[in-house]
Chain A
Amino acid sequence: MQPLQSPRQPLMAARAITKTFDRTRALAGANFVLAEGEIHGLLGANGAGKSTLSKIMAGHYSFDSGEMVYRGHPLQLRSTRDAIRIGIAIVMQETSLVPDLTVLENIFLPELGRPGRLDYRALRLRCAGLLENLGQEDSLPLDWDVRRLSSAQKQLVEIAKALGVGAKLIIFDEPTASLSPGEVDRLFDVMTRLRAADHGLVFVSHRLEEVFSITDRVTVMREGRTVLDGLPTAQLSQAELIRAMVGAELGAIYTEPHAANSATEQRPVALSVRNLSSTPAVKDVSFKVHAGEILGVGGLVGAGRSEAMEAIFGLRRRTGGEVLLDGKPLREQNPQEAIRAGLGFVAVDRRTQNIVPDLSVKENLLLAHLGAHRGLFRAYQTREHRVQELMQRLGLPQERLMDASMLNFSGGMQQKIIIARWLLLDPRVLILDEPTKGVDIGTRASIYSMLRDIVAEGVAVVVVSSDFEELLGVSDRIVVMSDGRSIADLPSTALDEEKLTLLAAPRTSMARNTELLDALAHEYNGAGFWTLIEGDRFICLNSVVTRPALDPGFKPGDARGLAETSIPRALRQREAIFVPEQDGSRTTLVIPMRSPRGHDLGWVGLSLPPDAALPPPELIKSRIDSLAATL
């Protein structure tokens, strides 16, 4: 393994880096070694410190202790300008471009500060050269104002800008978060060219698919430490990466397995959402939550989960569908009515959507009370008793209530106070969007036990999270969203992280998979489907039916036993031949789909009428393989 460890000369080496913000320790010994001519994945769950580390490398922050060596020289950056001067640039999600200047001016922004006249013709030529090297000659209109560009184009401007100042090391901070599949391909093409030109690239992401398809080596961070230091990507499996990101100890913080699902199914439905839409982010979302149940909402960043929750709560205009609380429709679309009807909502961004910095801790705690309260006066004393009770539950001393600012508390404590703000009102349904973002592991455990407590009291809880481990650990049931639609509603016991990833990641795979299923079903006039099978249970990821008679007996998102479908024999047998069913209704071919790296991507099936002319199974298999190769 040694020769692969650092294929070339190290470009940047960071050792034992620590960094503390106020009271939170963001990095506690981070190591990272980047070689020339490689794409190096930097992975970690929320709050693992990957963003902090990349911002330290880019000069946004300074580090407290540790050592950074760049091209053999020790390095202490004081500003991003320092970093750019020596050839380190970062391409961020919120771009650092000036919207009112043209593309050309933005690319050469650093030059605008130089004295003397600008030679636009020379700049134009240099710019054309830069873009040609990236293989993107015609992608950028140089004279447009940057505000007119798409986010992929803006990203390209950022890359060109980095190259314009001669950057050698380029950090891509979650570059694919807002790109369409085609744009991701183009970005990867650009990155590959940069690698070939001996640049060192850091790819910060939590999308495993992409990490496997683009990176040469991977470094994984957890709790501010490097736990997996620059291993070749090809030697790792998805499961190993997930384990490294999540850590073994996390399993222990989720309390005992969930109550039997049958029990919650019989409880009354507390919140029901039907065909909710809120253009453009939310297209068609439906789900139900029972009293005394935790429902997880999973999906990727940009799937429209936060937007859907905001639309339910009335913070965002609904364009269709309905929301029922205890069977009564929630017609008024404003938070006040939602709160009075018994809904609580911990929004995703603590600092901008939840904390009121100039009010005391006590008043922050009582803010939702103020919103729900009718009457002229603030009526704090009516909640005095409950406030004290909650403070005890949070483990917060009484005198800290009067603290002038929430900002003096750790992220975890702030989050607990925000949750308590809603518990004070005894809601029927509590929605929490990424409740453990930026929260240390100890507080995470106590937030989970808080949630268990309130569920035990009969409250219905909805938890939105990008952290699949967390979703699986806390929820009784999980709804997966993708591209603004709810696409699956399954008990969490039927799921694991790989299945969730497959369910949540359809924006690349699902569209092309549907194309394939569609083509198969129409060419052979049958029914196509894509499922995950484990033991005698399966989950349907996708299906296309051209003849009602061939309906396999399940829809996308369904999970059940093999025996409960119309094609139990074929699903059990899973051989590379068409298997006729016992009732003679159809004959079915089920073929495994594997990624080029050997990951299980489930099974693709094709059902045909028993009397149909059967195509050769190898032909179908090769079509599936060619899809899997590029998925």
Chain B
Amino acid sequence: MSIEKPSSMRSLTLSAPARALRIKQLAQRLEVRMLLLAILIALCLSMLSPYFLTRSNIFNMLDQSVVIGIVAVGMTFVILTGGIDLSVGSLAGLTGILLGLSLQHMPIVPAIAVAVAAGAGIGLVSGLLINLFGLAAFVVTLGVMAIGRSLAYIVSGQTAISNIPDAMQAIVYTNVLGIPSNVLFLIILYIVAWAYLAFTKGGRTIYAVGSNKEAARAAGLNTLFYSVLPYVLSGALSAVAATFSISQILSADPLMGNSMELDAIAAVVIGGASLYGGRGSMIGTLFGVFIMVMIRNGLNLMGVSPFWQGSAIGTIIIVALLVERLVSSRVNQ
């Protein structure tokens, strides 16, 4: 995964064969292919529903991308190291309840801090269990997923917490330069995460750890720290996602985030990451999130029954991956 690509401006002045090469190189980049796929899906859906490409629906879709998009960032980090985090959904539920309860006792900012710290702490425990004791990530996070959801019910007393202060809405419904603040947060988060993975020592270490942990260790990289970090981040971002979700509906439900881990993993994988680690990117994940949201939104617009939507989304994910696999083996020939 090299990230030094020469400025695309220069391609305008290239000769024909060089331009052909440049196009081929572009086609080799997964993100480019994912962008094309996203555009293709958008075109199809816009033909099926005239409402799909309207301004309000686009903003609606961006709004729907925020929660899943935030969780997918942490998931990308985890999957890049070759791990998996099944606990994000139930952690969103648990930290959401913690946030709801904290808001009864303290101002907004410390309450959010409590929720985020709780998510990070649980992520730290998972990360240490996985990397210090060599337990399988799948099993550990499956266990944490069950515990998290159960605690969410117990702490909340099995009911949603609805007396959330109205001021929380400011987190979502403030417009900056015409962009809703939650969408802006998502954009900034992706830029920061992308830059971290591409340009920092830690980011490159995460790729190296996922690709060949033993070689990374032998080269002096701190493999333990950068194997645990993604789980901490994933836990913390689950809490951040919960915060945005609660600000929108002004209610904290212990059921929140149910099966969110599946959407997040699907988005990351559609975005081209390898579940074996070492391969994937933030840009790919962002397109993966958009594709997931567009499909769901499109199906809703067309009035497809929610019971059928699961089948439709599952099929589309598998077909998209299959096509991508066939195309990429052709392009990389």
Contacts and interface: CB of A to CB of B under 8 A. Distances in A.
A377 interface: yes
Contacts of B212: 352, 355-357
Nearest to B6: A402
A375 interface: yes
Contact of A363 (B204, B210, B220): B204
A502 B217 CA distance: 36
B201 A372 contact: no
B1 A359 contact: yes
Nearest to B209: A356
A339 interface: yes
A367 B212 CA distance: 12
Given A336-B221, A353-B215, A355-B212, A377 B1 contact: no
Contacts of B200: 376-378
A367 B217 CA distance: 10
B235 to A, nearest CB: 22
A402 B215 contact: no
Contacts of A356: 207-208, 211-212, 215-216, 278
Contacts of A340: 220
A273 interface: no
* Max count, chain B CB within 10 A of own CB: residue among A362, A373, A377: A377
B220 A335 contact: yes
Contacts of A360: 1-2
Interface in B214-231: 214-222
A554 B328 CA distance: 68
Contacts of A338: 220
Interface string B263-280: 000000000001000110
B4 interface: yes
B121 interface: no
Nearest to A377: B200
Contacts of A334: 220
B141 interface: no
A421 interface: yes
A496 interface: no
B216 A402 contact: no
Contacts of B278: 356-359
A375 B201 CA distance: 7
Contacts of B219: 335, 339, 367-368, 370-371, 421
Contacts of B247: none
A401 B205 CA distance: 19
Contacts of B201: 370, 373, 375-379
Chain A: number of interface residues, binned into ranges: 35 or more
A541 interface: no
A450 interface: no
B208 A354 contact: no
B173 interface: no
A42 B303 CA distance: 72
B222 A336 contact: yes
Contacts of B279: 358
A404 interface: yes
A345 interface: yes
B2 A377 contact: no
B1 A339 contact: no
Contacts of A404: 2
A359 B215 CA distance: 12
B218 A315 contact: yes
Nearest to B277: A358
Contact of A371 (B202, B207, B210, B221): B221
B59 interface: no
Contacts of A355: 212, 215
A211 interface: no
Interface in A336-394: 336, 338-340, 345, 347, 352-360, 362-363, 367-368, 370-373, 375-379
A357 B211 contact: yes
A345 B274 CA distance: 29
B138 interface: no
* Max count, chain A CB within 10 A of own CB: residue among B202, B212, B217: B212
A358 B210 CA distance: 9
B220 A371 contact: yes
Contacts of B210: 358
Nearest to B80: A358
Given A376-B201, A377-B199, A359 B207 contact: yes
Interface in B174-196: none
* Max count, chain A CB within 10 A of own CB: residue among B199, B210, B279: B199
B100 to A, nearest CB: 35
Interface string A569-603: 00000000000000000000000000000000000
Nearest to A313: B218
Contacts of A313: 218
A315 B203 CA distance: 23
Contacts of B218: 313, 315, 335, 345, 347, 353-354
Contacts of B202: 376
A284 to B, nearest CB: 25
Contacts of B203: 378
Interface string A309-326: 000010100000000000
Contacts of B1: 358-360
A334 B210 CA distance: 20
A339 B220 contact: yes
Nearest to A402: B2
Nearest to B204: A378
A336 B204 contact: no
A372 B221 CA distance: 8
Contact of A352 (B2, B208, B215): B215
Contacts of A368: 219-220
A354 B217 CA distance: 9
A373 B220 CA distance: 9
A353 B214 contact: yes
Nearest to A404: B2
Nearest to A374: B201
* Max count, chain A CB within 10 A of own CB: residue among B212, B215, B221, B279: B215
B193 to A, nearest CB: 15
B215 A370 contact: no
A336 B215 contact: no
Nearest to B25: A402
A367 B2 contact: no
B2 A362 contact: yes
A39 to B, nearest CB: 38
A359 B220 contact: no
Given A359-B207, A402-B4, A315 B217 contact: yes
A534 to B, nearest CB: 40
A353 B216 CA distance: 8
Contacts of B205: 370
A102 B69 CA distance: 50
A378 B201 CA distance: 4
A389 B220 CA distance: 23
Interface in B268-299: 274, 278-279
Interface of B: 1-2, 4, 199-205, 207-208, 210-212, 214-222, 274, 278-279
12 contacts: A335-B219, A352-B215, A353-B218, A357-B212, A358-B210, A358-B278, A358-B279, A363-B204, A367-B208, A370-B208, A371-B216, A378-B204
Counting from the closest, the 6 A-B pairs by CB-CB distance are: A371-B220, A358-B278, A358-B211, A360-B2, A339-B220, A336-B220
Given A370-B208, A376-B202, A402-B2, 8 more contacts: A339-B219, A353-B215, A358-B210, A370-B221, A371-B216, A377-B199, A378-B201, A421-B219
